[in-house]
Structure 1
């Protein structure tokens, strides 16, 4: 019998080594393999427990295996999975209504990831500009050190050469400005620009919050030139900063907003939100996706949205955010030889290493993991914390304890 058809294959033992044997090496995952999760708790193949302060890169906003989400997915899995875009379905209609009622948007396009949401946003911006102004208005302006996805289009917009090297020739008519630099924006945004895209809180770029004055200037420049302002809230949206979306914190409304990650709490879904006027540019046949807006994903996302978009829930996120920041600021003060500052917003914080520890954020991450705490990095000089929005004060204190233990061990080893 062909081994690939062996019905027992699902029960075969697999290890971290299996990754190196059968998967394309686009990642270098940790040595341990998580097998079970609940809330912010994870266990690996050996039964070791970890406190998860990554939430799958700001995805599992309600923690692992949230009972309400599991219940929704189970019920929908026994009802209807997929139809194809020749038909609509009830869950997608309910989710679209809920998102438009909760935000500035009138229309939503659903897809499967943040990259696809941004791809749709960029295509919409160009299509709208070509239709209204002509093909000369096609340039897209983004920020250096931003991250908008891994498709060739979105990674080109991202402004990080390490992600585009070797994939040339890249899509043309894309320029980059310095994040939070108003003069850089003024110099770049002219009448030939169809869209300006920005993360109100850069994630991969080092957990950098946008200055209010910078975002205000981008809004005014877009109004002046007829460009569309796109907010990429794939990582910072869906309650992570204490508001449903971060544009609400600033009081600056974009023309297009992209959302994903926490929207499905781990079930793949992305969304592009926009106005009725702009949405008309993507008429029948101009864009699409096979799986986008399927009943499984949209039913899960609606449950997540209904839980997160409650005043009491968001108030607790703000409370937990203040607790995490004050705790981390104390840690930074106590370990000033390692960390120089805390930056970010809400429950997405970055601890920036000092010059003496430059390039060592990955080492700190590994040390913390060895002691049972999962954290992220944002480049080699920033340790990134993105716990689930349901994090407790006790879990914040435990993360602080493990980080301190790990730093003490590293400092002692270096002595």
Structure 2
């Protein structure tokens, strides 16, 4: 076999290497593709070798004058870098007061009617400068990275006018170019709610999204998302926006059936969306449609935790054959949490997922929810995004909760630093 390129990174003495690809890695076992006593080698962004440490001596690498960086894990755990497939990362302001109000018995509707909710964040975000939003986003991405996240999807939707929505996309693009931060995937969510200035003419707002904003932002956002819900956009409005977006080359996502059975899940299946997110009220028939269409269900347990609401029944979705991803839904109103480890713990404790299912949901399945073919598994040729855990058994994940179990994060083959 010809020599591999000279490595830039060697991770040795890995107690458990969770590849998430048992079908692709020799010696990997179980649904998580675990290799004990393992090593991993990369050159730049690309993984060159994954497997038992004993086999590393058999692999030939080309010579180089520059020695690789070597990390001794001391028998601890390595997984793919975590992938947060649903966030609202870029916004200004906070809604801590609303959190206290809700838990004192004030309804979300009453808060919104008093000028709170998404519209409150919209006002603060419209008033924030590009530099302020970049600084806020950078701080949040650093927190996510500290907890092992290496890829983050972020939605617009807190501008709700063309100028601010465009600024949010520009902020996401800027953050995505900063070395050492998680990779950023952008989603246009102009159809989050109808802003106050359009409430007397909803059709005009939908038309602005279809005929002005979507063409203008094509190529600058990877996905188009719509909040299909009674207090946001109807199924008919959502269908019109999705149709236009698909015609312009956007991939599709949908906030679906979070608060009521409003037809969002069926719409996601009909239009071949990459993912349908929330799904708290999706019917059995909806789940069959999603499974047949290959749509990933992105579940957001942090929302249920924050709102003290029932959790989605993940076991029912598994039974229907729907692939499941987990995400934080990081946002100022319903889940102010950057920690995917916490979502794994909540999904195990309250949604019926097993530990292997929950870990696949923040790695391999989360990559699928973003149409990423180079992340979510640890296989030669894949992107070198790693979470290096300070534990000796992956069984501690979800069990030891409320703390950060990740000691180090590697993004694109580079050790990320503060």
Shorter-chain TM band:
under 0.3
Structure ranking higher in helix proportion? 1
**Which TM-score applies when normalising by structure 2?**
0.27
Q: If the length of structure 1 is used for normalisation, what is the TM-score? A: 0.28
